[in-house]
């Protein structure tokens, strides 16, 4: 029996009980797990065949939740989130000392974004906790834009695949590292360098 369904409400109970679900987002389908359930987060690593020392990005329901997972947040962060969240911008920040999750792989930083898609946002709000937001693929392979592309890569290794149609943006999120004095783009993606520079007065070298 295929794990693909259009009923994202069914994914909520699965996540609350330690399941792993593939969800559509604005950029690519993601593997979602409750970040506070270690066994679920570990399963995400296993499904992706991702090294356990390579941290997983985390999805938040809204920008106001940022202070719950990050600390020492530089002022430029708020311009970035006001301008581009929800949307295709992932920020790397210093981890909040109270954030205890396998998703950060024992590191002192956290990668976060608010996706611009109603399904993951509703799921996060419904379970009441952030979720993992890593792409629903085998590490190193193409990031899937449809539920069937997810199934072709990871099959029934995931508990459920929520079919929300094709992801609207054909690019992964842009990643900016804000853990040092000078912001640095680590991955070009959905939000361009020029858009960021214009919105927030940053100059990237």
pTM: 0.96
Q: Identify the helix (H) or strand (E) that includes residue 46.
A: helix 38-48
pLDDT digits (tens, 9 = 90+) for 112-134: 999 999 999 999 999 999 999 99
Torsion of CA 160, 165, 169, 171, to 10 degrees: 40
Beta carbons of 71 and 96 less than 8 angstroms apart: yes
pLDDT confidence of 203, banded at 50, 70, 90? confident
Domains belonging to the chain, first-starting first, are: 4-200 (3.90.870.10)
pLDDT confidence of 49, banded at 50, 70, 90? very high
What is the C-alpha to C-alpha distance for residues 78 and 54, in angstroms, rounded to an integer? 26
What is the per-residue pLDDT for 92? 98
What is the per-residue pLDDT for 204? 87
């Amino acid at each position: 029996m295929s794990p693909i369904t259009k009923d994202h409400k069914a994914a909520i109970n699965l996540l609350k009980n330690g399941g792993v679900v593939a969800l559509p987002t604005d950029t690519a389908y993601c593997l979602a797990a409750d970040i506070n359930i270690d066994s679920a987060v570990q399963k995400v690593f296993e499904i992706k065949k991702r090294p356990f020392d390579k941290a997983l990005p985390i999805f938040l329901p809204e920008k106001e939740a940022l202070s719950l997972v990050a600390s020492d947040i530089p002022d430029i962060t708020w311009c970035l989130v006001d301008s581009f969240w929800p949307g295709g911008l992932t920020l790397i920040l210093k981890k909040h000392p109270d954030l205890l999750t396998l998703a950060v792989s024992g590191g002192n930083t956290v990668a976060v974004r608010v996706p611009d898609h109603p399904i993951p946002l509703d799921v996060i709000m419904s379970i009441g906790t952030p979720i993992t937001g890593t792409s629903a693929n085998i590490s190193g392979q193409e990031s899937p834009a449809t539920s069937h592309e997810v199934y072709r890569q990871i099959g029934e290794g995931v508990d459920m695949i929520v079919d929300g149609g094709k992801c609207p943006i054909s690019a992964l999120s842009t990643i900016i590292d804000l853990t040092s004095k000078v912001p640095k783009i680590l991955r070009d993606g959905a939000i361009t360098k020029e858009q960021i520079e214009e919105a927030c007065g940053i100059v990237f070298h």
